[in-house]
């Protein structure tokens, strides 16, 4: 049965992964992910989810409201979200986004350090270009 999400034009996934107890206690581990082709009215407003998320904008742009900041992640850029915090993101035009949720005991402190360093988890194309192949590998691994 297909899940209908307003603004999702096409998707590859959603693929799920069940981590071992060892991974949950000691490692970072992916939970689920996909590639979405989006358009307006796609919007996610979340107050809390027990996970973190990486979104890579492969084409177009995605708007974000995180920690009181509004910014636009453009093609080739990356965003790290703490879904345990209020977050809001949406598409105002067509965009392709590769994303996955992940978790792990030490993710919170690491992401907090990243937020302290750059304010929002929004990473430039410098980081995006290096991380995209890794995201592709993770999504490929979720498919198996």
In a domain, 139, yes or no: yes
Higher pLDDT pick, 55 / 120: 55
Name the nearest CA neighbour of 90 among 62, 69, 56. 62
In a domain, 3, yes or no: no
- Asked if the model's pLDDT at residue 119 lies above 80, the reply is no
In a domain, 25, yes or no: yes
What CATH number corresponds to the domain at position 24? 2.60.120.10
- Asked if the model's pLDDT at residue 120 lies above 50, the reply is yes
In a domain, 1, yes or no: no
Give the pLDDT confidence score for residue 1 in this predicted structure: 41
69-103: pLDDT as tens digits? 899 999 999 999 999 999 999 999 999 999 999 99
Q: How many domains does the chain have?
A: 1
In a domain, 68, yes or no: yes
% of the chain surpassing 90 pLDDT:
63
- Asked if the model's pLDDT at residue 35 lies above 90, the reply is yes
Return mean pLDDT, the chain: 90
In a domain, 2, yes or no: no
In a domain, 128, yes or no: yes
Residues with Cβ < 8 Å from 43, sequence gap 6 or more? 6, 7, 88, 89, 90, 91
Q: 32 near 101, Cβ under 8 Å?
A: yes
For residue 92, give its domain range. Answer: 8-143
The two structure tokens encoding residue 11: 């998707």
Mean pLDDT of 11-23: 88
């Amino acid at each position: 049965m297909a899940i209908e999400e307003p603004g999702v034009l096409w998707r590859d996934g959603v693929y799920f992964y069940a981590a071992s107890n060892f991974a949950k206690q000691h490692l970072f581990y992916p939970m689920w992910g996909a590639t979405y082709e989006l358009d307006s009215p796609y919007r996610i407003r979340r107050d809390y989810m027990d996970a973190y998320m990486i979104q890579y904008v492969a084409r177009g742009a995605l708007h974000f409201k995180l920690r009181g900041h509004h910014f636009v992640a453009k093609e080739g850029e990356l965003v790290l979200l703490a879904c345990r915090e209020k977050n809001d993101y949406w598409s105002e035009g067509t965009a392709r986004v590769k994303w996955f949720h992940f978790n792990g005991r030490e993710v919170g402190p690491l992401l907090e350090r990243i937020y302290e360093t750059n304010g929002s988890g929004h990473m430039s194309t410098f980081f995006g270009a290096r991380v995209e192949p890794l995201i592709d590998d993770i999504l490929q691994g979720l498919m198996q």
